[in-house]
């Protein structure tokens, strides 16, 4: 792990596995932990790292319902856990299947230890809902949890630290790899979700995977996703074949074809 101090008492923590980035915001009466990691072992390591920075009571926010962001929550006992209502529903319905799917991937790559850790992780459900916006008082600073609209999923939550101009974007922004549209993404709506992020005026945006970026990077990713949205719409309307759309994509075929072939009205 590697700490990055983004601003006064605002931190990102970088992990090599999955190129993941977790977050911590500290006030004078409490701290906010942004995502809890991939499994109970990772969660415990993350919780211990947080405790090296602060011993204040912790609150947790889960940015969306993908396993690598919530399966470490057992390591944060007693915490209020905030998430979008659809995130909670997806964790209830899909956590087991996600764990099994990724455990199979780990086994195929000879990483049985990570597979076993993943399958052993207990699910802790969120306790509080963020349908649109919630302001959390950490003492001397207020941090805002927002649902920016459909993008990487239908349950994304971003974390705005307005006094320092820092925004934790979850997987609505990704650095180092193309944004993951997959089966849960909404390519037609994702550009608007990024507009909502940029409208907050952040100076630093922290992706769920990759290094912190600036607004120019997000504007560039928004332009790329607008191209994907246009291609998706072309395939859906029949004016483009999937192969034609893949050839015009700003992203590699493996990042583009699954979304285009899904045929989802998103």
Choose among 215, 219, 210, 165: nearest CA to 191.
219
- Determine the pLDDT at residue 110: 98
Choose among 164, 138, 184, 161: nearest CA to 172.
184
Choose among 263, 259, 25: nearest CA to 140.
25
Indicate whether 264 pLDDT > 90.
no
- Determine the pLDDT at residue 182: 82
Rounded to an integer, what distance in angstroms lies between the CA atom of residue 95 and that of residue 84?
15
Torsion angle defined by CA atoms of residues 169, 173, 83 and 48, in that order, rounded to the nearest 10 degrees? -70
Indicate whether 260 pLDDT > 90.
no
Number of other CB atoms surrounding residue 5 within 10 Å? 10
Helix (H, G, I), strand (E, B) or coil at 11: strand
Sign of CA dihedral 176, 177, 178, 181: negative
**pLDDT tens sequence across 159-190:** 999 999 999 999 999 999 999 988 899 999 99
**pLDDT tens sequence across 205-217:** 999 999 999 999 9
Indicate whether 266 pLDDT > 60.
no
- Determine the pLDDT at residue 265: 44
Please enumerate, as own/partner, the contacts of 131-134 that have beta carbons within 8 Å and a separation of 24 or more: 131/84, 131/85, 134/82
As a whole-number percent, the residues of the chain with pLDDT over 90 amount to 94
- Determine the pLDDT at residue 77: 96
List domains and CATH numbers for the chain.
2-214 (3.60.15.10)
Indicate whether 257 pLDDT > 60.
yes
**pLDDT tens sequence across 34-77:** 999 999 999 999 999 999 999 999 999 999 999 999 999 999 99
Residue 99 pLDDT level (bands cut at 50, 70, 90): very high
Rounded to an integer, what distance in angstroms lies between the CA atom of residue 105 and that of residue 228?
27
- Against a cut of 0.85, is the pTM above it? yes
């Amino acid at each position: 792990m590697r700490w990055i101090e983004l601003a006064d008492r605002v931190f990102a923590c970088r992990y090599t596995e999955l190129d993941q980035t977790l977050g911590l915001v500290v006030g004078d009466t409490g701290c906010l932990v942004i995502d809890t990691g991939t499994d109970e072992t990772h969660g415990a390591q993350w919780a211990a790292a947080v405790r090296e920075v602060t011993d204040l009571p912790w609150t947790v926010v889960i940015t969306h319902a993908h396993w690598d962001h919530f399966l470490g929550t057992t390591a944060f006992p007693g915490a209020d856990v905030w998430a979008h209502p659809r995130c909670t529903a997806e964790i209830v319905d899909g956590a087991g299947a996600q764990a099994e799917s990724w455990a199979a991937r780990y086994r195929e790559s000879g990483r049985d230890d990570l597979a076993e850790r993943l399958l052993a992780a207990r699910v802790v459900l969120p306790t509080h809902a963020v349908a649109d916006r919630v302001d959390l008082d950490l003492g001397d600073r207020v941090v805002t949890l927002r649902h920016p609209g459909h993008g990487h999923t239908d349950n994304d939550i971003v974390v705005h630290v307005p006094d320092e101009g820092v925004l934790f974007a979850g997987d609505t922004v990704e650095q180092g790899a193309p944004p993951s549209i997959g089966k849960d993404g909404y390519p037609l709506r994702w550009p608007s979700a990024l507009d909502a992020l940029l409208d907050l005026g952040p100076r630093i945006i922290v992706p769920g995977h990759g290094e912190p970026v600036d607004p120019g990077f997000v504007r560039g990713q928004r332009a790329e996703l607008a191209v994907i949205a246009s291609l998706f719409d072309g395939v859906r309307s029949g004016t483009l074949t999937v192969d034609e759309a893949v050839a015009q994509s700003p992203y590699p075929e493996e990042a583009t074809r699954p979304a285009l072939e899904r045929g989802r009205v998103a």
